[in-house]
């Protein structure tokens, strides 16, 4: 099938769903670290490859590149690897947050069982806290060999993003273009506040970086053409979104099972190639290499949170469920964002969020106060439209009422114990105590 701009735009028209079928899903990246804070390497026993094969023996279907397992799937869930050996669970869509939580709890227990006795543990932090990025080996995945060469030319912290960061993401349905546009604009304008609320990466190489979300700062030093808050998201239509994707320089193309550097060619230009025109698979591959804070595929992905423990990851999922799935909440949240974005520009707002978390100020008002107002809107919405899911906001409400983000607790823990032994407090299943 010959791809056209109009055809790519038309595809988005097929992704909408009636309100009654709206579901939620989430993606959870995790570090696997030993007692010294050193990431689990790909090779060796234990190693990432060893772990992937244990998953495969437990009912997961592996995806191989040569002799290397690089992904697994079971039902609608998928496990993928990040360039430094971090792993990501992309869960199935669920009717409510309880389903998301049950899936993640079972998965975390499965991983813990595999790791028992190895000295490695799952750690919920937004950035690897002790290892030097230069010392972390690369996962042998074809696309990463191209990405690391491409991105080192576009941002001084690009390799930190690839090998050191972990995030929490959640996905939501939409009805049609107008509904999608409202949700995308809302999540994009709230992006800095989302980052501040879930900031959880103040430590790197055993030192305080001065950033509450060092992960968020790293993304500003990666590749501005494919990250951040593009105009196509702040003024969203299907047409503008497709035009944005067509003009973001490609990183790679895949032919004969091999990834090749695209040398900055755009997908729009490639569609004019009569000798080797792109396919739908090529388009889908290109979409995986564009990383704005809010991304639209067949669902809306909200991507602005650091990796946080499971209770706060469920709060993140419930927060946007409440904001997106009730019309009154969207009205109220949009009114809040009108006041929020009146102060500074988007880059200034994002820097304040990354540096200070909820302890910063915007418009003479603490970011924690903005967050409390947002949580009130989401909580009331869940009471009206998703009975039972408000309870998942409770850990976050308690934190925000103290004027804190997760990074504040991390800093306290590191002041008490600046060595890697403190990692035991940051397991993925529980809040540090």
Residuewise pLDDT in 10s, the chain (433 residues): 789 999 999 999 999 999 999 999 999 999 999 999 999 999 999 999 999 999 999 999 999 999 999 999 999 999 999 999 999 999 999 999 999 999 999 999 999 999 999 999 999 999 999 999 999 999 999 999 999 999 999 999 999 999 999 999 999 999 999 999 999 999 999 999 999 999 999 999 999 999 999 999 999 999 999 999 999 999 999 999 999 999 999 999 999 999 999 999 999 999 999 899 999 999 999 999 999 999 999 999 999 999 999 999 999 999 999 999 999 999 999 999 999 999 999 999 999 999 999 999 999 999 999 999 999 999 999 999 998 999 999 999 999 999 999 999 999 999 999 999 999 899 999 998 6
- What token pair was written down for 215? 């992960």
- The Cα–Cα gap between 131 and 28 comes to 21
What local confidence, expressed as pLDDT, does residue 327 receive? 92
What local confidence, expressed as pLDDT, does residue 241 receive? 98
CB atoms within 10 A of CB 268: 14
- Answer whether residue 351 is part of any domain: yes
CATH, residue 25: 3.30.590.20
Measured at the alpha carbon of residue 144, what is the angle toward residues 143 and 148, in degrees to the nearest 5? Answer: 125
- The Cα–Cα gap between 108 and 422 comes to 20
- Would you list the DSSP string of 389-401? -GGGGHHHHHHHH
- Answer whether residue 36 is part of any domain: yes
Contact 226, 334 (CB under 8 A): no
- The Cα–Cα gap between 413 and 407 comes to 10
- The Cα–Cα gap between 341 and 337 comes to 6
- Answer whether residue 432 is part of any domain: no
Q: Report helix, strand or coil for 139.
A: coil
- Answer whether residue 225 is part of any domain: yes
Number of domains in the chain: 1
- Answer whether residue 430 is part of any domain: no
- The Cα–Cα gap between 196 and 265 comes to 35
- The Cα–Cα gap between 55 and 63 comes to 12
Domain with 42, as residue range(s), is 5-425
- Answer whether residue 348 is part of any domain: yes
- Answer whether residue 396 is part of any domain: yes
End-to-end, the C-alpha distance of the chain in Å comes to 56
Q: What b/e sequence results for 47-64 when a residue is b if at least 16 CB atoms lie within 10 Å of its CB, and e otherwise?
A: bbbbbbbbbeeeebebee
Q: Report helix, strand or coil for 431.
A: coil
Q: Report helix, strand or coil for 362.
A: strand
Q: Helical H runs in 153-234?
A: 158-164, 177-189, 191-197, 214-219, 231-234
CA-to-CA dists, residue 290 to 160, 189, 228, 246, 273, angstroms: 17, 19, 10, 11, 22
Dihedral, CA of residue 394, residue 396, residue 400 and residue 405, to nearest 10:
160
The pTM of this model reads 0.97
Q: Residue 13's Cα: distance from chain center in Å?
A: 25
What local confidence, expressed as pLDDT, does residue 432 receive? 87
- Answer whether residue 433 is part of any domain: no
């Amino acid at each position: 099938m010959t791809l056209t701009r109009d055809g790519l735009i038309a595809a988005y028209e097929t992704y909408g769903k009636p309100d009654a079928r709206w579901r939620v899903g989430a993606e959870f990246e995790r570090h696997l670290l030993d007692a010294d804070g050193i990431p689990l390497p790909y090779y060796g026993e234990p190693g990432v490859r060893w772990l992937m094969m244990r998953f495969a023996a437990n009912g997961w279907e592996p995806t191989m590149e040569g002799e290397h397992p690089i992904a697994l799937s079971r039902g609608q869930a998928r496990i993928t690897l990040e360039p430094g050996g971090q792993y990501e669970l992309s869960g199935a869509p669920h009717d409510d947050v309880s389903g998301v939580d049950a899936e993640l709890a079972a998965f975390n227990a499965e991983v813990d069982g595999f790791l028992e006795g190895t000295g490695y543990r799952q750690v919920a932090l937004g950035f690897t806290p002790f290892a030097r990025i230069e010392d972390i080996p690369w996962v042998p995945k074809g696309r990463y060999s191209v990405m690391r060469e491409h991105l080192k030319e576009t941002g001084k912290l690009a390799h930190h993003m690839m090998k050191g960061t972990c995030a929490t993401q959640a996905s939501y349905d939409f009805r049609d273009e107008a509904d999608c546009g409202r949700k995308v604009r809302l999540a994009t304008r709230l992006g800095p506040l989302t980052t501040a609320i879930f900031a959880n990466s103040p430590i790197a190489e055993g030192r305080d970086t001065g950033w509450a979300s060092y992960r968020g700062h790293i993304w500003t030093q990666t590749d501005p053409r494919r990250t951040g808050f593009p105009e196509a998201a702040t003024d969203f239509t299907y047409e503008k979104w497709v035009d944005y994707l067509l003009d973001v320089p490609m990183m790679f193309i895949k032919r004969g099972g091999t990834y090749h550097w695209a040398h900055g060619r755009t997908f729009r230009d490639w569609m004019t190639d009569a000798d080797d025109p792109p396919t739908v698979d090529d388009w889908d591959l290109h979409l995986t290499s564009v990383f704005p804070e809010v991304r639209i595929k067949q669902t809306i992905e909200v991507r602005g949170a650091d990796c946080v423990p499971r209770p706060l990851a469920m709060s993140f999922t419930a927060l946007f469920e409440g904001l997106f799935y009730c019309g009154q909440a969207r009205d109220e949240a949009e009114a809040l964002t009108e006041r929020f974005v009146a102060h500074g520009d988007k880059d200034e707002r994002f820097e304040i969020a990354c540096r200070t978390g909820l302890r910063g100020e915007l418009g003479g008002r603490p970011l924690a106060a903005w967050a409390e107002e947002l949580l009130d809107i989401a909580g009331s919405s869940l009471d009206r439209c998703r009975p039972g899911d408000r309870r998942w906001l409770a850990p976050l409400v308690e934190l925000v009422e103290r004027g804190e983000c997760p990074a504040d607790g991390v800093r306290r823990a590191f002041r008490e114990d600046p060595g890697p032994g403190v990692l035991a407090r940051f397991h993925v299943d529980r809040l540090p105590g």
